Amino acid sequence: MRQMTGLVLIALLCAAGLSAATPPPTGGPSGPSVPSGPSIPPTTYPPTIEVSYVHPTAGRIQIGYGSVVNVDYGTQLSALAFEITVSDPDANPVSLTTGITNIGSTGIVLTEWNSASAGVPYTLAPTSGVFNSSGGQTYTFGMSASDSFTLVDFDFSVVQSAAPANAAPSLTLFDNRGAASVQVTDGVTLQVDHNFRLADFFFQLSVDDADGDPVSLGAAITNLGATGIQQAEWESAVASTPYTLYPTAGVFNTSAGVTHQITLTAHDGTDQTSMTFYIRQSAQPDAPGPSGLVSGSGGGGACVATTGSLVWPVLLMLLGLGVVAWRYKKAA
């Protein structure tokens, strides 16, 4: 009995070993085929992303994952000289995909930050764009590199400061008539005689802007009349600053006298600065009256000398007549 039981156990064990050693069918009429997947290397390492930029004072700096790069308003992306280097320990071709937030009107070109699958290592050097959000902005750069087997991410941010407050342009006018130049300020009145020439002021009108913005200059001058003053000599289209004008045309020739108001306005596209001053011209001096006698009023017909030129001849004539009359009376 024990011998029979042992034989049965041996038979069962042999049957089990045979079944485990026999592979399943792989095709043909006896069963469906099993598709084969991609050949995965036994050990695959993920690709790598390295990003660096040039700091204004510290030189080239490596950017760490999640780092922040601080820039001023108006910073050109080309000035930062970004470099994105993509590699792979297994030398597999790698693609790079980048997303950037708040691009707006910066002019940043996404294609400069992306690459189709390519041999490694390779480096991208994007240059297009300017960080120009007037209120300040945070730009998030999200990168993904894939070698078809593994995917790696890399993120960093650029924080741009707000635009500084605009400085209004400046106007400076000098009157150079005397031995020393005198600045003409807002509200000042300059006094001149009739027929004074504007060129004799030797005016020097300077326009500047602390931000270096180009500036236009406008002028409004009252009571031009026949003076020949040229308003265009006091004006300028938008031009780089600083610049200086030297107005010379015109003569202050209004007979009755007049006051000219001159208002100058400089504009840098954002803010403006104005100043007003006055030139008061005195009236033409009276011409001398005619010499001669005028008849007095009434029927007496008396003559009155109107100028000193006839007084003495008349007095001498009367004196002579008196002397003659006295001698005639004495002789009688």
Residue 323's pLDDT is 62
Two tokens, residue 65: 């994952």
Q: Which carries the bigger pLDDT value, residue 73 or residue 35?
A: 73
Contact 243, 209 (CB under 8 A): no
- pLDDT band at residue 302 under the 50/70/90 scheme: very low
**Contacts of 74 by beta carbon, 8 Å cutoff, 6+ apart:** 130, 131, 132, 163
Chain segment 92-132, per-residue pLDDT in tens: 999 999 999 999 999 999 999 999 999 999 999 999 999 99
Chain segment 165-185, per-residue pLDDT in tens: 999 999 999 999 999 999 999
Residue 318's pLDDT is 72
- pLDDT band at residue 38 under the 50/70/90 scheme: low
> CB burial class (10 A; 0-12, 13-18, 19+) of residue 44?
middle
Task: Say yes or no to pLDDT of 304 above 50.
Answer: no
pLDDT > 70 fraction of the chain, expressed in percent and rounded: 74
Chain segment 198-222, per-residue pLDDT in tens: 999 999 999 999 999 999 999 999 9
> Please, what sign has the CA dihedral across residues 219, 222, 228, 229?
negative
Chain segment 40-55, per-residue pLDDT in tens: 666 789 999 999 999 9
Task: Say yes or no to pLDDT of 265 above 90.
Answer: yes
- pLDDT band at residue 258 under the 50/70/90 scheme: very high
CA atoms within 13 A on the CB side of 244: 7
Contact 268, 240 (CB under 8 A): no
Residue 105's pLDDT is 97
Two tokens, residue 31: 């069963």
Task: Say yes or no to pLDDT of 232 above 70.
Answer: yes
Residue 80's pLDDT is 98
Task: Say yes or no to pLDDT of 22 above 50.
Answer: no
Gap between the Cα atoms of 288 and 24, Å rounded: 139
Residue 18's pLDDT is 42
Residue 32's pLDDT is 44
Residue 1's pLDDT is 46
pLDDT > 90 fraction of the chain, expressed in percent and rounded: 72
Contact 214, 239 (CB under 8 A): yes
Domains and CATH numbers, the chain: 48-160 (2.60.40), 170-281 (2.60.40)
Mean pLDDT of the chain: 85
Q: Buried b vs exposed e over 206-234: b needs ≥16 C-beta within 10 Å?
A: ebbbeeebebbbbbebeeeeebebbeebb
- pLDDT band at residue 331 under the 50/70/90 scheme: low
Contact 256, 283 (CB under 8 A): yes
Q: Which carries the bigger pLDDT value, residue 58 or residue 10?
A: 58
